[in-house]
Amino acid sequence: MSEQQGEFDLSQLKDKIAVVTGAGNNGIGWGLAKHAAALGMHVVIVDLHESLVRTASIKLSETFPNIRCVGIACDVTSPEAMKACLDRIDAELPTKLLGAVFANAGVLFNRTILKSTIEQWTTTFNVNVIGVVNTIQAFVPRLQKQGADAIFCTTASIGGLVRGDGGSGSYQASKHAVVSLTESLSFELARKSPHIRVHVMCPCIVESGLGTTSKTNQMAVSGQMDSAEIEPVALGTHALAMTSEDHARQVFDHIAVGNFYMLNDNTRPYVDHDFPFDGVGMIKQRFDNMLALKIDNSDAMQRGPSGIASATLKGPMFLELQRRALKDKP
């Protein structure tokens, strides 16, 4: 895996299919869908509720009449549903190649760790992490089989790279998992399928109804409201929030230059603030400690009883313990 995958000509995406999960509401997915359509891509909008995908696909088709837009109601937490989604795409767009897949569906519950429920943790990880796994397993084999240059992009968060903000532990933990998952995917595909370019979005705050949508989805699943009544929610506002359109533009700029980690313009104020404690200092401490480790490979070819080659980590703590041990020797 490399932070830089080389430049990519976005014109290659024209007349190919962009699949965007979590695109039925106002937010990151909707912005990506619009930008893909503007590039001449045929867009598949995937979301949990039929009413959302219907409204979004009609709106996108009216704005971009020269491309095909398909709306598919699908639960990303179900592997069977994601494979059925691909079958539906084949039926609707049989002559078109997949050009980009955005595993973007996500939920957020603004609850502290102590006050959140196990149900909220389970829902968060099922959608934010298992949903990405299901999307990978449904679509990556097709991208491999096609053999043509293609994009696979996940949505994590700046919260997947830095410390949590103390108000949404399940979300932050799930996004750390998405970053690690995407890094692993990039490593797995780098040798055998280098034509699939892997990226992870790590946005700061983007205008969306994420928190409201998560609560609405939970109510619909539990039967507290009719899913047919769900409509796109109003965009949330925040002093640091950027529009979904601006965010999408930056995502495709990152794709064009080959950045694996995609951060946006409004990230710096978020990681640089010192409330309630120094965020940048914590990040620096974490990686300084890791970089301080020294790997001694002198015995790497020696194999122990298990037959596994060994390597010894010799960081500051190890060296200090070693010094004390030698000092105490009679």
The reported pLDDT for the residue numbered 312 is 56
- Residues 6+ away with beta carbon under 8 Å from 232: 24, 25, 26, 52, 55, 56, 209
Q: Nearest 5°: CA angle at 227, between 222 and 232? A: 120
Can you spell out the DSSP letters for 119-160? Answer: HHHHHHHIIIIIHHHHHHHHHHHHHHHH-S-EEEEEE--GGG
Cα separation, 8 vs 12, in Å, equals 8
What pLDDT score was predicted for residue 6? 87
Concatenating the DSSP letter of every residue in 295-309 gives EE-TTTT-B-TTS-B
> Model-level pTM?
0.81
* Confidence at residue 308, expressed as pLDDT on a 0 to 100 scale: 54
Give, to the nearest 10 degrees, the angle between helix 50-63 and helix 28-38.
30
Rounded CA gap, 227 and 89, in Å? 23
CA atoms within 13 A on the CB side of 301: 1
Q: Which two tokens stand for residue 239?
A: 């002093």
Q: Where are the domains of the chain?
A: 10-277, 293-328
Domain 10-277 has CATH 3.40.50.720: yes
d(CA 106, CA 98): 22
Do the beta carbons of residue 108 and residue 117 sit within 8 Å? no
Closest CA to 112 of 178, 164, 176: 164
> What is the phi/psi pair of residue 59, to 5°?
-65, -40
Give me the torsion for CA of 88, 89, 91, 93, rounded to 10°.
160
DSSP assignments along 37-99, one per residue: HHTT-EEEEEES-HHHHHHHHHHHHHH-TTS-EEEEE--TT-HHHHHHHHHHHHHHSTT--EE
Contact 244, 206 (CB under 8 A): yes
Residue 105's φ and ψ, nearest 5 degrees, are -55, 135
Per-residue pLDDT tens digits of the chain, which is 330 residues long: 444 578 999 999 999 999 999 999 889 999 999 999 999 999 999 999 999 999 999 999 999 999 999 999 999 999 999 999 999 999 999 999 999 999 999 999 989 999 999 999 999 999 999 999 999 999 999 999 999 999 999 999 988 887 666 678 999 999 999 999 999 999 999 989 999 999 999 998 898 777 545 444 444 444 443 444 434 444 455 566 789 999 999 999 999 999 999 988 766 555 555 444 455 666 677 777 767 766 555 554 455 555 555 555 556 656 666 677 677 666
pLDDT of residue 208: 77
Q: Are 115 and 34 in contact (CB under 8 A)?
A: no
pLDDT tens for each residue of 64-86: 999 999 999 999 999 999 999 99
From the number of C-beta atoms within 10 Å of its C-beta (0-12, 13-18, 19+), residue 246 rates as middle
Q: Rounded to an integer, what distance in angstroms lies between the CA atom of residue 48 and that of residue 71?
A: 11
